[in-house]
Amino acid sequence: MITALTLAPVLAALVILAVPEKRVRVVALAGSLISLGLMVYMLMHLDLDAKGVQFKEKIAWIPGLGIDYFVGLDGVNALVLLLATLLAPLVVLASWKQEERSRTYFVLLCIQFTGLFGTFTALNFFHWFLYWELALVPAFFLIKIFGSGEDRHRAALNFFLFTVVGSVAMLLGFLFLYQQTGTFDFVELARKGVNAHPLIFCAVLAGLWVKVPLAPLHIWQAPAYAAAPAPVAMLLTGVMSKMGVYGFLRLVVPIFDKQLQHYAGTLMTLALVTILWGAFLALRQTDLKRMLAFSSLNHVAYCVLGVGALGIAVDGMKIDAHELARQGVILQMFAHGLAAAGLFYLVGLLETRTGSSGLGDFGGLSAVTPKFAAAFYLLTFCSLGLPFMAGFAAEFLIFSGSFAVAPTVTVAATVGLLATAVFLLTMLQKVFTGPTPERHNNMADLSPSEGLIVIPLLFLLFFAGISPVTWLFWSSVLN
């Protein structure tokens, strides 16, 4: 079933090549909805008495090298895979008006979905790495061919080069690890416990570091997000940035647990620097896309802060700090993915309607577009971490777990929360309050079809904020 979920979009891509151009959107949407339907079915049919991997599919592929086709669903990937399958049909709907080279566009989009789904389900490094790289290639072409601005070619190239170099480092690290252990199986590696050389750990860490990204290897992110079409930016910030965090949870925490304990303080410091640096860079931006890109850098770094907390030993505590941090990281991936995707979609609508995304080009839009403003405010409030929204629940769990084991770093990280509030509230003030420029007096409000994309995101963000236990149920039951 997981194989069907993963391959449904790429099969849709093959169908798109054969159908008339006016049907390509429908086929792409159908492929993504099949994946979402299969994901919901699996979540509804979990064996609540079982632990570990469920819906397992394991077939010997290259036995002589210890390579199996091995996929499954567990507490680490359940919620992030749900996030990916939820956003996929919304991204297709957000791309519905794509007219230029639409066949190429939707084929690349469907291949991207398969790469993402495969990354979140593979449990053997060999085909996990294939999916990891597969998710990179379509994104490069989507930015380069369909992006906007004169810098889109450079942005796409930087994105590709940074991520490829990180991937090569990670590949080399795992090849050396295979020589030491004789297996690529993630579950087997976690069971054995690996005492790898620090260079192997650093090589794997480099691949994840670039993908998250963490400072100073973040310089590809803002140009790529700003140049990408809005639906592609939704996918980049909503799902692709979670690949790196997921890699930390899937590879570093269970397999390199000894190395993580040794370098946990350094990792938390890097996360802290990224949190503060991302907030500082966001404060300096005059372009909405770039501001949201650095906001994403800031928010995803909270996940890495929680990962670092998992490596710090604790004794005699009345709370399970590690479980709090782990659950917080998982929920933060889900919450940020939904909120950031929604904000990039709305900024894309602004750019389409006005031809601009400059912070100073707007003002007073709440008076002429009240529905649009309400949606933008609510998504921003989730990013701010307001109570009863998913962002608050996620950050509360992360800070609770990390404060218990590293109070100094955690307190310093709260400065990032204050800076986040400053730049996000400044954004709301400049875009939606004050006098409305005459050229925007007739701007169209959020249409019903556009609301079809935004309303599900808002519903899920409130649902996960009011009842986070419902969404963390799968990560706790399957753990």
pLDDT at 315: 63
Of the segments 49-53, 150-154, 386-390, which one has the largest average pLDDT value?
386-390
Confidence of residue 182 (pLDDT cuts 50, 70, 90): confident
| Token pair recorded at residue 478 | 């399957």
Question: Quick one: pLDDT band at residue 197, thresholds 50, 70, 90?
Answer: confident
Q: What is the pTM of this model?
A: 0.94
Q: Is the pLDDT of residue 406 over 80?
A: yes
Position 258 scores a pLDDT of 87
Distances (CA, A) of 213 to 129, 220, 290: 18, 9, 15
What is the per-residue pLDDT for 364?
Answer: 87
Q: Are 341 and 457 in contact (CB under 8 A)?
A: yes
Would you say residue 317 has pLDDT above 80? no
Residue-wise pLDDT tens digits, 171-181: 999 999 888 88
pLDDT in tens, 242-271: 999 999 999 999 999 888 988 998 999 999
pLDDT of the residue at 246: 95
Question: What is the structure's pLDDT at 333?
Answer: 94
Q: What is the pLDDT of residue 129?
A: 93
- Please determine, for residue 398, whether its predicted confidence score (pLDDT) is greater than 90: yes
Chain segment 302-312, per-residue pLDDT in tens? 999 999 999 88
Smallest CA-to-CA distance from 227 within 275, 282, 290 is with 290
pLDDT of residue 354: 86
Q: pLDDT digits over 424-475, tens only?
A: 999 999 999 888 888 888 888 999 999 999 999 999 999 999 999 888 888 8
- Structure tokens belonging to residue 183: 């297996």
User: What pLDDT digit, counting tens, does each position of 323-380 carry?
Assistant: 899 999 999 999 999 999 999 999 999 988 888 888 888 888 898 999 999 999 999 9
Question: Mean pLDDT across the chain, nearest whole number?
Answer: 90
**Least confident interval from 132-136, 148-152, 266-270, 295-299:** 148-152
Band (pLDDT 50/70/90 cuts) for residue 318 is low
Residue pair 224/156 in contact (Cβ under 8 Å)? The answer is yes
Domain that holds residue 447: 2-477
As a residue count, the chain comes to 479
From CA 131, how far away is CA 306, in angstroms rounded? 26
Amino acid 371: pLDDT: 94
* Average confidence (pLDDT) over 125-129: 92
pLDDT at residue 12, as a whole number: 95
User: How many domains are there within the chain?
Assistant: 1
> Tell me, what's the pLDDT at 171?
93
pLDDT for position 316: 59
Distances, alpha carbon 31 to alpha carbons 11, 72, 436, 460, in Å: 8, 20, 42, 22
212, amino acid identity: V
Arithmetic mean of pLDDT, 237-243 = 92
Q: Single out the residue of 280, 21, 294, 2 nearest to residue 123, CA to CA.
A: 2
Q: Is 269 exposed, middle or buried (0-12, 13-18, 19+ CB in 10 A)?
A: middle
Q: Which pLDDT belongs to residue 151?
A: 83
Q: Is 224 exposed, middle or buried (0-12, 13-18, 19+ CB in 10 A)?
A: buried
